[in-house]
Amino acid sequence: MNPMREIKIEKVTLNMGVGEGGDKLAKAERVLKGITGRKPTRTQVKRTIREWDIKQGESVGCKVTLRDEEAVKTLKRLFDAVERRLNKGCFDDGGNFAFGIKEHIDIPGVSYDPEVGLYGMDVCTTLRRPGYRTRRRRRQPKAIPKSHRVTKEEAINFITEKFGVQVV
C-alpha cells in the first residue's frame, strides 16, 4: 500500500460542557484529569445568553486534546464505554467522527466517587493522511486535493479494522 494513503489519528478531543463555573466545573476538570492524566483547558462562552444566565467570557466547560499513542490508547478505553458500537451518523464527510458518553463511570478503570457525581462528555476524533500539513503550513499553504481527503467510508473501514468497532 502507498504510505501516503495510510490513515492516522491526528487528535482526540474530550469535551465536557457543564453550563456553569465554580465547583461543578472544578469537578469536571478532575474527572477529565483522571481519565487522561492531563490538565484540562477551560472553555469560555462566546456570546451572552440572558435566558440561560451566562455571560460572554465566562468559563462553562473544559476539554483535553490528545495526540499520537496517548490518543490511540485513550480511544480504545472510550470505545469500551460505548460497547464498541458507533452509529453511522457519527461520521462526517471529512472522515472525522464524534460520539458521546453519557456517564464517565462507563469508561473502564474509572470508579464512581459520590463527592464528584456523574458527568457526560463528547469525544471528537480527527483523522488525517500524510501531507495534510500543506493546509496549515506558513509558506504556500494549499488545499488538500479531493482525491487525498479521508472519506466517510474510509474512516468507517479504518475504525472497524484498527479498533474492532461495529458501525451500525
- The rounded distance, in Å, linking the Cα atoms of 153 and 28 is 34
11: alpha, beta or left? (left if phi > 0; alpha if psi -120 to 50): beta
**What's the rounded mean pLDDT across residues 130-145?**
93
12 band by pLDDT with thresholds 50, 70 and 90:
very high
Domain ranges of the chain: 3-167
43-57 tens-digit pLDDT: 988 888 888 777 888
What dotted CATH number matches 3-167? 3.30.1440.10
- The rounded distance, in Å, linking the Cα atoms of 30 and 38 is 10
Helix (H, G, I), strand (E, B) or coil at 163: helix
DSSP 49-106: BGGGTB-TT-EEEEEEEE-HHHHHHHHHHHHHHTTTEE-GGGB-TTS-EEEEES-GGG
What pLDDT sits at residue 137? 94
Mean pLDDT for all residues in the chain: 90
